[in-house]
Structure 1
Amino acid sequence: MTDASLGTPAQLRDPNYTPALSKAIPLGIQHVLAMFVSNVTPAIIVAGAAGFGFGSDAGAQGFPDMTYLIQMSMLFAGIATLFQTIGFGPVGARLPIVQGTSFAFLPIMIPLVAGKGVEALPALFGGVLVGGLFHMVLGTFIGRIRFALPPLVTGLVVTMIGLALVKVGIQYAAGGVPAIDQPEYGSLLNWSAALVVIVATLGLKFFTRGMLSVSAVVIGIALGYIYALAVGMITFEGIVTSWDRAATVALPIPFAYGFEFSFAAVVGFCLMAFVSAVETVGDVSGITKGGAGREATDAEITGATYADGLGSAIAGVFGGFPNTSFSQNVGLIAMTGVMSRHVVTIGALFLILCGLVPKVGAVIRTIPIEVLGGGVIVMFGMVVAAGVSMLSDVNWNRRNMVIFAISLSIGLGLQLDPKAVQYLPDTLRVLMTSGLLPAALIAIVLNLLLPEQLSDDATEEVSGGLSGHGKGSLEKRG
């Protein structure tokens, strides 16, 4: 419910209005708390997949890699958010859009870096840069290609993103990626830390209101951290050592890991930029509808897409990952009723400050992987749920069931058994085993090519006599 002391209804619907600082600062920090864990988690996952995550300190320039990646995630989320809220020229929607590191690119990034260490990062960041520039180009015509991405396609893609990542959550909760020399993997102690986070998060989300509910995941992880400290999974000495070793202030380093262009990385990031751009269009529309009761203008949609791409491209130069608009903050605007872009600007400045202080990243790095796993299970499960919610808007006739079935079967199947395409060229193999890209491509092509009405007999052959129904009503059958 909106607090009347924040301003008049007309003021609260105005993106250019600034509440009193005593109200604006807590509201800005609230936006940061709502996205903080989601924003830094991709950096931790990529570092872990590459093999220089927890317990590894060797850096490209002598600094701990995971700490630096976390630092860049915070810094460039803040900078990209400023592109949106303040803007310049055609860049930026001038709306309260919070940017953060995108989960959508993880199914592409993980195969690119898996087990390759820091040697894989130059190609990865080359892909981030080119993908970001391509994302900017999409801004010139994104509105005209939305027809190719109905809820059937976008819902499938979001669902596939979540399904690609839930395995990561379970592995983290059990103790990390399983290894031969890891006998404690899956132990009760490991799972107990993850369960503390899950239970605390659910309790806060559903039995509290306001800041506590909005910040449920980050508070849940904090409680899991305290539990891990109590049972000896981490020590005060370890925390103090991490804090002492990290610099007080450090600036980002351009091309910190080197730079190279990989065809697989470039193609993967460009294709995912297309999906990310459409997601941003949806978030912009959600903000204007929920906060101001109007449709987004073409200039706002174009500016938001430009800012998305530019923020990602610049992040890639300095060792950051692709940024996109964060949907949870869209919901926060609808909940608070405060449309002020300057409130989000305050949150962006707080993120930038955190990104310039490596000690923040060093402390985040001391979070046990089991504790993080509890939060990741919740977050990635919510990604799947968001995809299912989008699919609820689909008219589940036989045509759409066939498109969904084939796309999901091939995409998920390749993801579950990467060796099925082990003889493909390296570039194509990486793209195919992501699961996400083949599923999205098949869904888009079939949706454009298949007639609106398929033959009942043809579909019955592949559905085993099952008929779909959408929106609560069964199809009429003659």
Structure 2
Amino acid sequence: MPTKPPDLIYGVDETPPTVPLLLLGLQHIFIVMSALVFPVVIIRAVGGSAEDTAFVVTMSMLAGAIGTVLQTVNRRGIGSGYLCPAVCGPSYIAASLLAVQTGGLSLLYGMTAAAGVAETIFSRFLHRLRFLFPTEVTGVVVTMVGIAVIPIAVQNLIGTGTGDPVSEPAELIVAAVTLGTMIAASVWSKGGLRLYSVLVGMVAGYIAAGITGVLGADAIAQFVEAPLFALPEIRHPGWSFDAALLLPFIIVVLSSTFKTIGDLITCQKINDADWKRPDMQNISGGILADGLSAVVAGLLGGMGQATSSSNVGLSIGTGAASRAIAYVVAAILLVLVFVPKLAAAFVIMPAPVMGSVVIYAVTFIIVTGLRIITSRMMDARKTFVVGLSFIFGLAAGMIPGFADGMHPLVQPVFVSALSVATVTALVVNLVFRIGIAERQSLTLESGTGFPDAIFSFFERVGGAWGARPEVIRRAESAVNELMELVTITGAADGPVQVDVKFTEEALTIVARYRGRALDLEPGRLPADLLADGGDFSRLPVLLIRQYADTVRTDERDGECRVRLQFEH
């Protein structure tokens, strides 16, 4: 059972009271709605009508509601069980544009559904690929999930973007009020205000936008004129398929999968104070839900769906990670499908307000990724895995036209900072795995000088394996105490051979020597330990048993063995 971290107000299995639950769901909806700009961009890029745009947005909301439920249920291998809403996936933008330009909306819907099928198939094999995601790769993916969103978040924050290259003073004021209010509510508030920091900040942002004129009369009129209730207009053109576009959409699937892995690992970590490594079985269920969401989107006539990093960041910032919030998010999305006036309140959201929300959320994502990276020991190999991944990932996001000269089939990999960083991390990690053995050995002589040899050995192998520092410290101390005991008792007739094996689940040490077997049975400290001339001979035994999770001794053919195991 996961241990709830102290900074969480509502853990994944806890249900907030009704009113807080609705308000928390409403906060998440603001972020979910901001992702609806992606299908609008795609339809407008090919000269689609306002009716086509409205239909794609509506069906995307419906698909997002279904996808959010699928991700949350965690039943029969479907879903992760975490608060990780489904939104229009930015990974789909490039391939979706290519599909619409090639064969219209029918091809977009058919290829989106096909991509979802491919992702569901891939999810069934993911749990066998854990070796591809050691901690340094996992940390890079999580960190880049946040960093990749920074450009569009900052553009919105300062009120610039397509067709609006100038940031106005009024927009900066709105951004400062919105983000400042959110941060103040998170850092200095007492009681439950932290739960609603985003909602409070957005209300302040809307008010500031209205006062400064950023929220103009046209936007307000759009809200007023929107009908209270209406059935969505069905304009589905059907489905088509083009094998030539399969590779770009497969690449989209991989990019989306890497992002979802990062999101779900973050969910696992923030909900478990004792988190040690990714639960790939749980992540496989999450990827399956992700793929099914894309299938649903393609069938309904919406844009491909993926998990929302910003929503995960919001749950960290507010301290509310209850899965019950996800069901509220899905319910509100369903309501929005039939209530255009309520949807219009989100549609007219000022860009600085939207950017402030995303900046607030991704801050927590980036820091969580860095914490994952630094939770393990690092050597030169792992330093290059992390460093090169960040360098090339950031280059893809910073250099205009980074992927322009590449073949259209592989461009989707290189237009995203996240996908470039992830592919770099995976490739460099696989290359650097060459030459790293799961078993290492050390020969020690009783007497003096062994502490330095033990320390140097475990620092070297711990960094190469990417082991948790606290486990390596305990192993160092246990072997040091074992050698102290061998020296005190004179048990070894020669050198002590120390064999160490590492897996993600355990660190196992077997010490072998010729001589007398050691008595490592548990006992109490002698009563005269602190007296002059006290008996210290049992102290190393007690310390060894304190450091190691399992201690065993045996003797075969005159060779004594001590087996120490440390859970990892």
TM-score normalised over the length of structure 1:
0.73
Give the corresponding residue for 1:169.
153
Structure 1 gap segments, 5+ residues each: 1-11, 455-466
Pick the structure with more strand per residue: 2
Give the corresponding residue for 2:194.
213
Distance verdict in 2 for CA 1:296–1:274, change over 3 Å? closer
Distance verdict in 2 for CA 1:287–1:256, change over 3 Å? farther
- Count residues in correspondence: 430
Give the corresponding residue for 2:538.
none
Q: RMSD of the TM alignment (CA)?
A: 4.5
Once residues 223 and 469 of structure 2 are traced to their aligned partners in structure 1, the CA distance between those partners, rounded to angstroms, is 54
- Using the TM superposition, give the Cα deviation of residue 407 of structure 1 relative to its aligned residue in structure 2, in angstroms: 2.4
1:327 aligns with 2:301: no
1:153 aligns with 2:137: yes
Once residues 191 and 338 of structure 2 are traced to their aligned partners in structure 1, the CA distance between those partners, rounded to angstroms, is 29
Give the corresponding residue for 2:386.
404
- Using the TM superposition, give the Cα deviation of residue 251 of structure 1 relative to its aligned residue in structure 2, in angstroms: 3.7
Give the 3-state SS of the residue equivalent to 1:215 in structure 2: helix
- Using the TM superposition, give the Cα deviation of residue 236 of structure 1 relative to its aligned residue in structure 2, in angstroms: 5.2
Identity %: 19
Distance verdict in 2 for CA 1:259–1:225, change over 3 Å? farther
- Using the TM superposition, give the Cα deviation of residue 444 of structure 1 relative to its aligned residue in structure 2, in angstroms: 0.6
Cα pair 2:69 2:330 within 8 Å, conserved: yes
Cα pair 2:120 2:291 within 8 Å, conserved: yes
Q: Quick one: which of 27, 41, 44 aligns to 2:34?
A: 41
Give the corresponding residue for 1:32.
25
String of CA shifts for 1:215-270, please: whole Å, max 9, x gaps. 32233122111111112222456423344245723347474697665346403321
- Using the TM superposition, give the Cα deviation of residue 300 of structure 1 relative to its aligned residue in structure 2, in angstroms: 5.6
Give the corresponding residue for 1:101.
87
- Using the TM superposition, give the Cα deviation of residue 77 of structure 1 relative to its aligned residue in structure 2, in angstroms: 3.1
Please show how residues 366-405 of structure 1 align to structure 2 within 5 Å. Answer: 366-405=348-387
Distance verdict in 2 for CA 1:359–1:110, change over 3 Å? farther
Once residues 369 and 120 of structure 1 are traced to their aligned partners in structure 2, the CA distance between those partners, rounded to angstroms, is 29
Give the corresponding residue for 2:113.
129
Cα pair 2:112 2:304 within 8 Å, conserved: yes
Higher-Rg structure is: 2
1:274 aligns with 2:283: no
Give the 3-state SS of the residue equivalent to 1:101 in structure 2: strand
Please show how residues 108-257 of structure 1 align to structure 2 within 5 Å. Answer: 109=93, 113=97, 125-126=109-110, 128-177=112-161, 179=163, 182=164, 185-208=166-189, 212-235=193-216, 238-246=219-227, 248-251=229-232, 253=234, 255=236
TM-score normalised over the length of structure 2:
0.63
Distance verdict in 2 for CA 1:121–1:243, change over 3 Å? farther
- Using the TM superposition, give the Cα deviation of residue 279 of structure 1 relative to its aligned residue in structure 2, in angstroms: 3.7
Once residues 443 and 293 of structure 1 are traced to their aligned partners in structure 2, the CA distance between those partners, rounded to angstroms, is 22
Structure 2 gap segments, 5+ residues each: 1-9, 437-462, 473-568
Cα pair 1:83 1:92 within 8 Å, conserved: yes
Pick the structure with more helix per residue: 1
- Using the TM superposition, give the Cα deviation of residue 398 of structure 1 relative to its aligned residue in structure 2, in angstroms: 0.8
- Using the TM superposition, give the Cα deviation of residue 198 of structure 1 relative to its aligned residue in structure 2, in angstroms: 0.8
Q: Quick one: which of 376, 401, 414 aligns to 1:432?
A: 414
String of CA shifts for 1:320-373, please: whole Å, max 9, x gaps. 44132753576599x569x7x667545532332233322222221212223322
Once residues 143 and 263 of structure 2 are traced to their aligned partners in structure 1, the CA distance between those partners, rounded to angstroms, is 17
Structure possessing the higher relative contact order (Cα contacts under 8 Å, 6 or more residues apart): 1
Distance verdict in 2 for CA 1:275–1:375, change over 3 Å? same
- Using the TM superposition, give the Cα deviation of residue 141 of structure 1 relative to its aligned residue in structure 2, in angstroms: 2.7
Cα pair 2:186 2:317 within 8 Å, conserved: no
Distance verdict in 2 for CA 1:110–1:299, change over 3 Å? closer
Distance verdict in 2 for CA 1:79–1:174, change over 3 Å? same
Once residues 225 and 14 of structure 1 are traced to their aligned partners in structure 2, the CA distance between those partners, rounded to angstroms, is 31
Deviates more, 1:271-280 or 1:162-171: 271-280
